[in-house]
Amino acid sequence: MRMGSFQLASRASVLVALIGIGGCQLSWWNDPPPPPGILGTPGPQPSPTAAPEQLRSEILSQLTSGPYATLFNARLINDGIGIFAITDTLPTKGVRRWGRDYQTPSNEDVLEVTASVSLKIGMPKLAKIVFERPLSGSWLGDFPWRKQLVKKPMQETLQRTALLEQDDSGHWAIRQISVAVQRSTVTSVDIYSVTLRSARSTNSIEYHKELQATDQLLAALPGEAIAVTVIANTASSSVYLYLGGNRRQILPYLGSDQRGARFSGQLIFPGGPPGPDQIGIDLVASSTLENPGSAYDATIWGVPVLRQGGEL
């Protein structure tokens, strides 16, 4: 009787463990550390959440050769001075033209150097990549009454996270991806959420900072109208959209509610090869745009989307 109870309890424990491994997608980095030998070799092991260097390089190599490589290698926005003219909605003494001047990045493989890789060896085999890189440069603003460009130094950090799964052939593919978040060192403005809806669908897709399944990203055809809603923490700011190079458009402010300040409008999905792309959401504090003596204060999101083949 005692032996039967022990066997039943053991089988129940194994079943719970298998359910925990197979059903967990986002929370398993908070699980208790696995026992020694998780990597299948005897003796001392590296940290159970840190990938050995050879496997780390293999995973990053497959990521950079895959369809989502541009979301990690390309600059989030391709900015420059003189690409935005003042409108009637901005203060009379506001900035007339502005842009960012980033320092030339080094030729090193930034993803290979700065990304961390964590592992979960189970069924399925999962890898979590956290890519982070520092950025620096100057924000340049043309304030008409100053008759000169005003420079504000920028120190920013760009971060994006991806969850990869290894298939039976050993290939790692992205299953979930986060928005890219680029924030200045001292930032008062923040984005809570971005909601996208294509003209062909009644369903909206809401993005937060958490990981999002790649099969749940917005998919659109070139030429299609996309409704965009941004919820920010303050109305004392302006929101701009980027998609395709340095084309930039302002997103109107429509009021605030319990969720935050709401900016909403639409963009036309640009042409290009089918595959992953991203929409740049640029939230800039009003003080940056209106006060030449204020510090640079902004947050940028890179929202991953999928461009479908063909045209609308």
What's the confidence (pLDDT) of residue 40? 40
pTM metric for this prediction: 0.80
At 108, the pLDDT band (50, 70, 90 cuts) reads low
Give me the mean pLDDT over the 95-107 stretch: 75
- Containing H/E element for 58? helix 53-64
Site of tokens 């980095």: 29
Segment 26-58, tens digit of pLDDT: 344 434 344 343 344 444 433 446 788 999 999
What's the confidence (pLDDT) of residue 162? 95
SS (H, E, C) 6-72: HHHHHHHHHHHHHHHHHHCCCCHHHCCCCCCCCCCCCCCCCCCCCCCHHHHHHHHHHHHCCCCCHHH
Q: Average pLDDT over the chain, rounded to whole?
A: 79
Residue 118, pLDDT above cutoff 70? yes
What's the confidence (pLDDT) of residue 82? 53
Give me the mean pLDDT over the 263-290 stretch: 91
Return d(Cα 159, Cα 102) in angstroms, integer. Answer: 17
The backbone torsions φ and ψ at residue 47, rounded to the nearest 5 degrees and listed phi first, read: -50, 135
